[in-house]
Amino acid sequence: EEIKVFCPATIANVSCGFDVLGLALDAVGDEMTVRKTAKKGIAITKIMGQDLPLETAKNVSGVAGMALLEKSGYQGGFEIEIDKKIKPGSGIGSSAASSAGAVWAMNELLGKPFSNLELVKFAMQGEKLASDVAHADNVAPAIYGGFTLVRSYDPLDVISIPTPSELFATVIHPQIEIKTSDSRKILKTNITLEKGIQQWGNVGGLIAGLFKNDYDLIGRSLEDHIVEPIRSILIPGFDHVKSSAMGVGALGCGISGSGPSIFALSKGENVAQRVAESMKEVYGTIGIPFDIHISKIN
């Protein structure tokens, strides 16, 4: 018995929501085949597209999968094959796609004993291996689909947020690698009350805008005065890409997860396409190879 799953790339943080907001992309993702086996444990039999460890304890899908397996009481095991289309260190949830895909597929094969919330908890173990911190803002949208809010980590509370029908994301991925663990180390661990006020105002505004189909409010809320000023220094051309995207009508633009990918949200596919062209133009002059894609947010 086997299942083949699409494991979506995700944008975490979405500007104002560091570690709490995330959304799933439909244009990029890994493909994973998971098979039930009589042999106990998890065997990663093949990884295509990237050079990643096959050893279960060193592979995020192995670690996330073991967390599920131990809780399940299932006496057999699983084999996993991964066609890795998302590059590690790209900022669009490469490790999350593998972690989430593995547990999602296993749950299906076992007859769905676990809820989405439980699957997020298992997948977070994979994130812990990848970035030292069990953040859920990539695995939650990868499992629930669409836009999600991690309202609380302890106890874990994940909320699906509806999105307006014409919301599109343009994502440019410069071909440099930034490790999430490195780009977390440079962050300050304290913020001022003033910055807190700005940030939770924007989080509330963004969520309200998504519920009300209010694109202007969504745009006004896509700000981050805490993390973006620090991390954007690691991304060549960030300010230029952002001003160009805003200049052609993006609602907002920011760092995808821990970078280097940069995302912009737009109303309508035409604007998202114009944003892609403007990003291409900027990156063409920087001289770093990149890829770019557009997703509808569901």
Residues labelled catalytic:
127, 180
d(CA 95, CA 79): 18
The secondary structure of 177-224 as a DSSP string is ---HHHHHHTS-S---HHHHHHHHHHHHHHHHHHHHT-HHHHHHH---
Residue 224 binds to ligand HSE (criterion: CB under 6 A): no
Q: Are 49 and 83 in contact (CB under 8 A)?
A: yes
List binders of ligand HSE among 152-181 (CB under 6 A). 180
Residue 184 binds to ligand HSE (criterion: CB under 6 A): yes
3-state percent breakdown (helix, strand, coil) of the chain, nearest 5: 40, 25, 30
Contact map string, positions 75 to 114, toward ligand HSE, x by CB under 6 A:
------------------x---------------------
Residue nearer to ligand HSE on the CB measure, 69 or 142 = 142
Q: Are 116 and 128 in contact (CB under 8 A)?
A: no
Phi then psi dihedrals of residue 153, to 5 deg: -95, -30
CA angle in degrees (0–180, nearest 5) for 235-191-141 = 60
The residue within the footprint of ligand HSE, chosen from 13, 59, 148, 232 (CB under 6 A), is 13
Residue for token pair 């989080």: 203
Q: Are 56 and 41 in contact (CB under 8 A)?
A: yes
Determine the distance from the C-alpha atom of residue 298 to the mean position of all C-alpha atoms in its chain, rounded to a whole number.
Answer: 14
Range in contact with ligand HSE (rule: CB under 6 A) among 11-19, 205-213, 216-224, 240-248: 11-19
> Residue 184 CB, nearest distance to ligand HSE (Å)?
5
Q: Output the residue with the shortest Cβ distance to ligand HSE.
A: 257
Residue nearer to ligand HSE on the CB measure, 69 or 203 = 203
> Residue 86 CB, nearest distance to ligand HSE (Å)?
11
Range in contact with ligand HSE (rule: CB under 6 A) among 73-81, 105-113, 135-143, 282-290: 135-143
The residue within the footprint of ligand HSE, chosen from 25, 86, 129, 137 (CB under 6 A), is 137
Q: What is the dihedral of CA 77, 137, 162, 4, to 10 degrees?
A: -30
d(CA 36, CA 1): 6
* Count, residues near ligand HSE per rule CB under 6 A: 12
The residue within the footprint of ligand HSE, chosen from 107, 258, 278, 295 (CB under 6 A), is 258
Residue 223 binds to ligand HSE (criterion: CB under 6 A): no
Residue 150 binds to ligand HSE (criterion: CB under 6 A): no
Applying CB under 6 A, the residues found at the interface with ligand HSE are: 12-13, 18-19, 93, 135, 137-138, 180, 184, 257-258
